[in-house]
């Protein structure tokens, strides 16, 4: 999966970048290596931000130097990623993680496992309120809720939401899709297009 690599200090993420590349995960950055942290690539070349557009990243990996207790200027992209709704995972001492509470916790410092776990956690986090909304709708209608599933996939600024519900409901799939779409918008996701597909389980 496409990964935006952010380093608290220059070069601290070199091993992680190599591991991700070896595992087949494209690695992108906010600015070219060896270049100043400001301006970022998108300021220098509008439209090139790896967090947006058709080729946007799936996850952000922040690699922190143990001596960097506070966020550094080089980590400005973490804030951008969180605002864009892209899952962020931080390698290093989790107790010293200055972004704790906003990032995905990981059990170890394997960068490949970290980005995979963060991506999955991000999808589950986005799907949880939508699943709750569907369950609420069905309960209000006196319908069964067994088997309700919601999956969210991000493709740049397009989100594809797949919903599975029991068959024979007193609600139309179109009505459910409308509620899911509205609930997702309420979540503040940075999305230009939201596709919601609802299928009935046989």
**pLDDT per residue over 152-177, tens digit each?**
988 777 889 999 999 888 889 999 99
Q: Which of 86, 18, 22 is nearest to 49 (CA)?
A: 86
Angstrom distance (rounded) from CA 79 to CA 81: 5
- Tell me, what CATH number does 92's domain have? 3.40.50
Instruction: Give pLDDT, residue 66.
Output: 83
Instruction: Give pLDDT, residue 108.
Output: 67
**pLDDT per residue over 69-123, tens digit each?**
888 888 888 988 888 888 899 887 777 788 888 888 776 688 898 888 888 888 8
User: Alpha carbon of 104 to those of 60, 78, 123, 167, 192: distances in Å?
Assistant: 10, 12, 12, 35, 25
Q: Are 176 and 154 in contact (CB under 8 A)?
A: no
Domain residues for 70? 3-120
Angstrom distance (rounded) from CA 65 to CA 75: 11
Q: Are residues 100 and 132 in the same domain?
A: no
Instruction: Give pLDDT, residue 190.
Output: 64
The count of domains in the chain is: 2
Q: pTM score, two decimals? A: 0.78
């Amino acid at each position: 999966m496409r990964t935006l690599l952010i380093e608290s200090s220059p070069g601290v993420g070199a091993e992680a970048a190599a591991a991700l590349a070896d595992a087949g995960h494209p690695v992108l950055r906010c600015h070219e290596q060896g270049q100043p942290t400001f301006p970022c690539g998108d300021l220098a070349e509008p439209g090139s931000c790896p967090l947006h557009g058709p080729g946007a990243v799936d996850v952000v990996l922040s690699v922190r130097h143990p001596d960097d207790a506070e966020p550094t200027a080089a980590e400005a992209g973490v804030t951008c990623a969180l605002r864009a709704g892209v899952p962020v995972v931080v390698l290093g001492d989790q107790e010293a993680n200055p972004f704790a509470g906003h990032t995905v916790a990981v059990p170890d410092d394997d960068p490949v496992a970290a980005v995979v776990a963060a991506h999955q956690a991000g999808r589950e986090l986005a799907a949880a309120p939508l699943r709750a909304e569907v369950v609420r709708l069905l309960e209000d209608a006196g319908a069964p809720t067994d088997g309700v599933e919601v999956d969210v996939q991000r493709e740049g600024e397009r989100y594809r939401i797949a919903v599975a519900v029991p068959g024979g409901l007193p609600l139309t799939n179109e009505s459910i899709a409308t509620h899911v779409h509205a609930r997702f918008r309420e979540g503040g996701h940075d999305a230009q297009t939201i596709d919601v597909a609802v299928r009935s389980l046989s």
